Structure 1
Amino acid sequence: MSRTTAVREAVTPIRPVSGARPAPSWHRARVLEHAPVADRYQYLCLEAPTIAATAQAGQFVMLTVARDNQQAPVLPRPMAIYRRDARAGTVEVVYGVVGDGTRQLTTFRPGERMLVVGPLGQGFALAPAARRILLVGRGIGTCSLTTVAQDLAGTSTEILAVASGRDATSVIGGPLYRGYGARTVHEVTDADGTSDIGTLRGMLTSDLDGDPPQQIMTCGSERLAHLCRELGDRWRADVQVSLEAHMACGIGYCHGCATGTRSGPEESPLICKDGPVFRYTTGAGV
């Protein structure tokens, strides 16, 4: 069994309250800003008022990278919502340029229109009674967590965050977390050794064993997902993980993003429809 399969088969769907998930809509969204971030990422700001007003923490959008009547990659790309502003009607995305589709995406300029569908998927389930929430992300995976911090800004719930990357240019979200009032933000990298799992485990247990978080949310790294599961068992915390996957539709029609192997006649949960956020099984009560 691969590590990826092991992670996916250890999760269970989060069942939303009936009617709580917003219905997706499609937009010919106007590109407002589009610019490089460091040397690996792109920042994209879109005018999509309905998505901005309804998107829940941890949901995503599908971006069509081909213009009308253009010979280009036709399948849309799933992108986490990095931030949304209901008042301004904007949705922000930060993405990595990793293949033909995302390279094509970089060619959109302010003023152009892009087909966007969302908000999609099951987001994070915030527990009203949680006093402290730990957010643990790596690289572009951190973009799935920032809307959690956005929703908690100004509340009594303390935000604790880890933003990990290969080097300083790969770490995302630190300034945003601080702007939302995070009590602690650890920016850790492979380059200086601070992202080492043993080092990170020691730092977090030393800091938090005395008053641990009630919820842990993670995305972007299998190693970090395993660490979060371990910490969830240690602290009896609710652990939720946002899984990443290639998708063709984003709404459950194509069945191309199942979380694990088939068991009997039933298909395993779909990352686009039942996720991308799942509950990681731990010894915690929820």
Structure 2
Amino acid sequence: MNTLDTDAVIPVTDSVTPLPGSGTGRPAATWHRAQVLASTPHGRGHHFLRLEAPSIARTCQAGQFVMLTAARDEDTGPVLPRPMAVYARNPQAGTIDILLGVVGDGTRRLASFRPGERMLVVGPLGQGFRITRGTRRVLLAGRGIGTCSLTTVAQECAGTEVEIVAVASGRSADRVVGADVYRAAGVTRLHEVTDDTGSSEVTRLRDMLIAELDQAPPQQIMTCGSERLARLCEQLGRRWAADVQVSLEAHMACGLGYCHGCATGTRSGPEESPLICADGPVFRLAHPDTDR
């Protein structure tokens, strides 16, 4: 959503289902001409924005997203908005943080906004992650910029009895995302794994997580950013009988469900495929009952 770090295998969309009650109980979206408070490069190929958006900061749920329009007041041509996960929020200050991958004209334009300028922001949007009653431990597994969809889960759990175990994966240390937010939220069991050290290799990561968590496994697993990582989470969910939720990424034109341009591709009987913007972006990653 903030521009996926592609790591393709069998598409997880083949086995996702909307969360129960998807589309209900979410906060109403609001429209802001948000002032840009900070705009700085962040790591390799990423850019950090802090926006003044009080109602979004106050009501946004973990895993929800916003639509950012990279048009300035003097622009006359149409500019499509971009969906961006909320990286962090501060309800007291009325701010939201966005971390985006700078990969094309649209994201370069978003990164060109300077403090003091205003940007059109609509949100919060979508179905966020859902922490069920009785959960005591959650595993968050994110890859690259996809980790931005998970960091607000850690913020939401800060100061509660829910313990967060986090995996932040990237091609190299300067592409690992989320460690700053995780640490600020009090996450102490944080694993930063990278391709160049081999620590992000799926089998190695699986063995490490099993060794650490098998005796007291998480009741829920949440993931975003990599097909391989999602499939690993699916396997661990079977092993631990854990609920697995995945945040999907998609290009969107509206983010509200009007354009129907972000269907998952998984049909529900005769009905249209669930929409990532309206029924997601968070879905349950269903797993068949196979040998554990």
Q: TM-score, normalised by structure 2?
A: 0.93
Deviation at 1:128, TM superposition (A): 2.4
Instruction: State the superposition RMSD in angstroms.
Output: 1.7
Q: Determine if contact 2:15/2:287 at 8 Å carries over to the other structure.
A: no
Match of 1:231 in 2: 236
Higher relative contact order (CA 8 A, sep 6+): 2
Where do residues 1-286 of structure 1 align in structure 2 (5 Å cutoff)?
Answer: 6-16=11-21, 19-70=24-75, 74-262=79-267, 265-282=270-287
Using the TM superposition, give the Cα deviation of residue 261 of structure 1 relative to its aligned residue in structure 2, in angstroms: 4.8
User: What SS class does the counterpart of residue 26 from structure 1 fall into?
Assistant: strand
Could you tell me how far 1:73 is from its partner in structure 2? 6.5
Within 2, Cα distance between the matches of 1:229 and 1:122?
Answer: 20
Of residues 73-82 and 238-247 in structure 1, the stretch that sits farther from structure 2 once superposed is: 73-82
Report the secondary structure of 2:153's partner residue. Answer: helix
Deviations 1:17-57 (A, max 9, x none): 88520010110000000000022100000000010110000
CA deviation map 1:75-129 (0-9, x unaligned): 1000000111111100100010011100111111100110000000000011121
* Counterparts of 1:266 and 1:22, CA distance in 2: 26
Label 1:134 to 1:89 Cα distance change in 2 as closer, same or farther (>3 A).
same
**Equivalent residue letter for 1:222:** E
Deviation at 1:263, TM superposition (A): 6.3
Q: Residue by residue, what CA displacement relative to the aligned partner does 1:125-161 show, whole Å, maximum 9, x if unpaired?
A: 1112111000000110111000000010111111100
Q: Which amino acid aligns with 1:123?
A: G
Supply the distance in 1 between the matched residues of 2:230 and 2:69 (Cα, whole angstroms): 29
Q: Could you say what secondary structure the match of 1:274 adopts?
A: coil
Across the two proteins, how many residue pairs are aligned to each other?
282
1:206 and 1:72, CA in 2 relative to 1: closer, same or farther beyond 3 A?
farther
- Do the aligned residues in 1 keep the contact of 2:45 with 2:102 (CA within 8 Å)? yes
Contact 1:5-1:259 within 8 A present in 2 as well = no
Bigger mean CA deviation after superposition, 10-19 or 124-133: 10-19
Cα deviation, 1:200-234, whole Å, max 9, x if unaligned, reads 00100111111100000000000000000000000
Q: Once structures 1 and 2 are overlaid, which stretch shifts more, 128-137 or 4-13?
A: 4-13
**CA deviations over 1:231-274 (Å, ceiling 9, x no partner):** 00000000000000000000001111000155664211000000
User: Once the 2 structures are TM-superposed, how far is the Cα of residue 71 of structure 1 from its aligned partner?
Assistant: 5.3
Unaligned stretches of 5+ residues in structure 1: none
Identity of aligned residues (%): 65
Structure 1 210/245 Cα, relative in aligned 2: closer, same or farther at 3 Å? same
Distance 1:5 1:195 in 2: 19
Corresponding position of 2:3: none
Q: Which amino acid aligns with 2:284?
A: R
- Which structure 2 segments of 5+ residues have no match? 1-7
Distance (whole Å) between structure 2 residues aligned to residue 165 and residue 265 of structure 1: 39
Q: Which amino acid in structure 2 is aligned with residue 143 of structure 1? A: C
**Structure 1 ranges of 4+ moved more than 2 A:** 3-6, 15-19, 261-265
